[in-house]
Amino acid sequence: MTDLTDAARAILRGNDRQGPGGRYTVPNGRVYPFQWNWDSAFVALGFDTFDRVRAWQEVETLFSAQWQDGFVPHIVFWADDAGYFPGPSVWDTGREPRTSGITQPPVAATVVRRLWDTALAAGEGDAFWSRVERLYDQLLAYHRWFAEVRDPEGRGVVVAMHPWETGRDNSPEWDAPGEPIDVSKVGDYVRRDTGHLDAKMRPTKLEYDRYLALVQYGRAQGWDHHAIAAGNPFRVADVGMSMILLRANRDLRDLGAMLGRDTGAIAAWIARAEAGIGWLWDEAHGCWCSRDLLTGRRSGFVTSASFLSFYAGLRDPAKDAATLAHLARIGARVPYLMPSLDPADPGFQMIRYWRGPVWAVVNWMIGTGLAETGHAEPAARVKRDTLDLIARNGFYEAFSPVDGTGSGGDDFSWTAAIWLAWVAGDRSAV
């Protein structure tokens, strides 16, 4: 354990960078050489176990790239890397610093709430007071952007405009909604990911064509997010982002209360989500899943995001029982929880991106939610499996739930961070 903890710290230090906006961490220097939104949030959890100041810097640097309307991009291009595709010239957002034009799952408020709690527990609240106040205002603007731009029907869900926004890039949940995307004008391009990683682990050419077509559409709208939301060919209410935002709003509300702020707007967002998120429940399959806003069609897939309802703080005996039954069934089928796709699904692929592998960051959210809601046994299983995968195989981006094989990049920052959060500084109650 000590050796692995030292190794995890070394990975975070090795992936540490200095940019114009401050210190930030790259997920993996060879494949992902910039700052990613939700990666940085999870990385802060790891830094918080041994370098509290550096943890705060990670989130502050991310939010230094926030747009004026509250939007926080999924990539910040702090440095040049001509070999990366799609780089800043492809996105062409016209912003400084250069950024992408889409966002990612909003885990930052939950992380900042934890950073603040640990600072208070260490008796260092005064040292971080001005920092938490500033971040609170930035987080509030970010969540307001979601409420005003990414919930067009007022259902209390998050409507993704690009599969990359969901963090689950090529989940089968996006296959049917992606079919109408016109890829005829994408043109030729050279991917970087398949130059560093085995192509059988990565999204297909068709999936990547769709991703780029959506980037071209956003660019054609001048990255006006209201215009994109009104006409984008891909509009999917993502169960993962919706659950993560609901949890983040609860944490932001509590943080605001501790700071003596008016949290009425946040409470209204929470109430709207609690009233409307049931739209993402699939009664026929007994699972939480995403739903195509354009057709109303439910995906019907049981994915790792299906188990985030506990993390979101939702309580419904029938839905909880059905969700736990899926967890037990899947847990009996594979040695390691939680695969990103139900292994009983005919499309399950144990090492292809988001169509089978286990992701430590998703497991951290699932395990945290299960523990907080009193489901101690499955919570312990999720945590144990995650740590065992890392201990046996190293700090990979993801892992096969069947044999533990590492998938994606190695020496991966957020995997190291989850090890640290769950071993070196566990405050998750798991």
Quote the CA–CA distance of 175 and 352 in Å, as a whole number: 15
Based on its alpha-carbon atoms, the radius of gyration of the chain, rounded to whole angstroms, reads 20
- Say whether 169 is catalytic: yes
Residues 383/422, Cβ–Cβ less than 8 Å:
yes
The closest alpha carbon to 103, from 111, 121, 91, 94, belongs to 91
E strands, 63-145, where? 75-76
Give the pair of three-digit tokens for residue 39. 């990666």
Q: Alpha-carbon distance 265 to 360, whole Å? A: 32
Say which residues have a Cβ less than 8 Å from residue 54's Cβ, sequence separation at least 6: 16, 23, 47
Catalytic option among 60, 165, 282, 397: 397
The answer to whether the CB of 146 falls within 8 A of the CB of 108 is: no
Measure CA 151 to chain center: 18
Cβ neighbours around 328 below 10 Å, total = 13
**Which of the residues 92, 137, 148, 169 is marked catalytic?**
169
**Does 6 qualify as catalytic in the annotation?**
no
**CB-CB contact of 291 with 153 (8 Å):** no
Tokens of 394: 């190293």
Phi, psi (degrees; rounded to nearest 5) at 27: -60, -45
According to DSSP, the residues that pair with 179 across neighbouring strands are none
Could you give the CA distance from residue 397 to residue 164 in angstroms, rounded to a whole number?
A: 16
Enumerate the active-site residues: 169, 397
